[in-house]
Amino acid sequence: MKRRDFINWVGLGWLASSLPIAIAACSTQTTASGDWQNVGTTAELDKTGQLLVENSPVGSVLLVGTSKSGNLIAVNPTCSHKGCTVAWEAANKKFACPCHGAEYGVDGTVQKGPATKPLKTYAAKIEGNSVAVKPS
């Protein structure tokens, strides 16, 4: 084997073995346990009882609850009708779309049209001072 071929061969091997490590290092928001994604802190959530993260690695997330309530609700707030962002109505315990009036229950199911498909939901948990979600 020529010296140049050997160097190319070793270089390619190094690159191939380093790539997974480089990819893993880039995904800093992944938590240690599985595919949970950190989407904010408990301080941010507790400020208003809601946390909207529009560009998380798992998509848009609207979390409702507080770190002490122990009953977190997490949905993708993108309305299934035409894509507006739904808002949480705490008094009525539902998500309402400002565009055409669709309404969704706490589990994302449609309560009122024109939407016909439910909101996507996430499992949510508190881990230390972080709030994490994972597609459910």
CB of 86 to ligand FES, least distance (A): 7
CB 76 within 8 Å of CB 118:
no
Binding-site ranges for ligand FES (CB under 6 A): 79, 81-84, 97, 99-102, 114-115
Residue (52 or 84) nearer to ligand FES, CB? 84
Asked if 8 and 107 count as a contact pair (C-beta separation under 8 A), the reply is no
Minimum distance, C-beta of residue 35 to ligand FES, in the bound complex (Å): 28
- Tokens 């609207």 locate to 62
Rounded to whole angstroms, the Cα distance separating 134 from 127 reads 13
Please report how close the Cβ of residue 37 comes to ligand FES at its closest, in angstroms. Answer: 25
Query: Which C-beta is closer to ligand FES: that of 95 or that of 122?
Result: 95
79-82, long-range: CB < 8 A, 24+ apart? 79/115, 79/119, 80/110, 80/115, 80/116, 80/117, 80/118, 80/119, 81/113, 81/114, 81/115, 81/116
**Which residue, 52 or 99, is less far from ligand FES as judged by CB?**
99
Shortest distance, position 78 Cβ to ligand FES, whole Å: 9
Residue among 97 and 133 whose Cβ is closer to ligand FES: 97
Is the separation of the CB atoms in 111 and 94 below 8 Å? yes
> Minimum CB separation from ligand FES for residue 80, in Å?
8
Task: Between 45 and 62, name the residue whose CB sits nearer to ligand FES.
Answer: 62
